[in-house]
Amino acid sequence: MNFSPIKAGIVGGTGYTGVELIRMLSTHPSVKLTRITSRKEAGTRLDQMFPSLRGRCDLMFSDTATADLADCDVVFYATPHGVAMADAERLTSVGVRIIDLAADFRYRDHTIFERVYKMPHACPTLNQEAAYGLVELNRDEIARARIVGNPGCYPTTMQLGFAPLLRAGIVDPLHLIANCASGLSGAGKKAEVDYLLCEAGDNFKAYNVSGHRHQSETAARLAEIAGTPVGLIFAPHLAPMIRGMHSTLYARLNARGMVMSNDALQALFEDAYRGEPFIDVMPWGSYPETRSTRGSNVLRIALHRPPGPDGQGDTVMVLVAQDNLVKGAAGAAIQSMNVMFGLPETAGLTQLPLSP
């Protein structure tokens, strides 16, 4: 049987998530990269800018403003917010599917997007049909979708960490706390003082604790999971590493949760993610490390229950680690593509973590 590969385009191929998409899609068994765009590097060979691609990708960057993407089967947008939605109606009308790694299609309610990102939504009707690209929680909707809004990296860890607890109804949804840290690549490729080596190296600091954009995205999706409004305190931090993300999540057990043993809590997570190829529920009391996920699409979860003043505590702690550029961005987008096109979900995503 002749197999026709999926023709994939990437808009914005010079940023960290863009080149990560190129790296992973260039070895995907069912994909042919056909168009990769850049506003500034049109006409430049990809392997000239990224020598790591030598022998794997011989394409040149196309001009983002003039590139013809209509001959692609799927287009990934590794761009700033607002770019994908400007092209969505034109491309979907000719059968092209879209996976946006920015925020254009992350919110069911486009008015929340407009309030958070301070721009009008270009295609609110298409936004209503877009699927949220967290496969483990939204697989069926993604399989039917023409447009997928890839989740943010922080929201991926928070949703996968809190979801089993909220679905089981064993924690107080109004008092969720997420203490998270990301590597510098999460800020994108930009020249700002805060991200210079001398500023970020040997340093650890919080930022945007009073209004990070990922708080609204996460709270909206967690409310859907819980079936009720949630209260989420989210404190992001910048860690002195290139890639990697670690989230420490806290949820207060309610009366139903308090009577559960630690073994029962562990079983809750193991059952929730049984058979999921990219979720590793580690043994109770483990400590997932960012380096154990580096370069892979794996997300690792471990549970703890700190003691209270009278013995067994009323708080469950969920530790989550992932690679922010893979499971938090490019890998999750490819995972959604596999689901959209009926491919094995693990296709092109079986890379083991890099160690050391």
Give burial (CB, 10 Å; 0-12/13-18/19+) of 69: buried
How far is the C-alpha of 144 from the C-alpha of 129, rounded, in Å?
Answer: 10
Residues 6+ apart with CB under 8 A from 353: 291, 292, 293, 294, 295, 296, 298, 323
Say how many residues make up the chain.
356
SS3 133: coil
C-beta neighbour count of 118 within 10 angstroms: 8
Pull the structure tokens for residue 222: 């967690």
Residue from 249, 21, 280 nearest 150 by CA? 21
- The angle, 0 to 180 degrees and rounded to 10, between the axes of the packed helices 262-272 and 153-168 is 120
Distance CA 334, CA 321 (A): 19
The two tokens of residue 161 are 């960490």
DSSP-assigned states of every residue in 10-22: EE--SSHHHHHHH
The residue from 72, 123, 153, 180 that is catalytic is: 153
CA-nearest of 13, 178, 180, 12 to 82 is 12
Cβ atoms of 82 and 122 closer than 8 Å = yes
Helix (H, G, I), strand (E, B) or coil at 324: coil
Note whether 277 and 345 are within 8 A (CB): yes
153 is catalytic: yes
Q: What DSSP element (H or E) covers 139?
A: helix 135-143
Closest CA to 6 of 350, 352, 336: 336
List, by residue number, the catalytic residues: 153
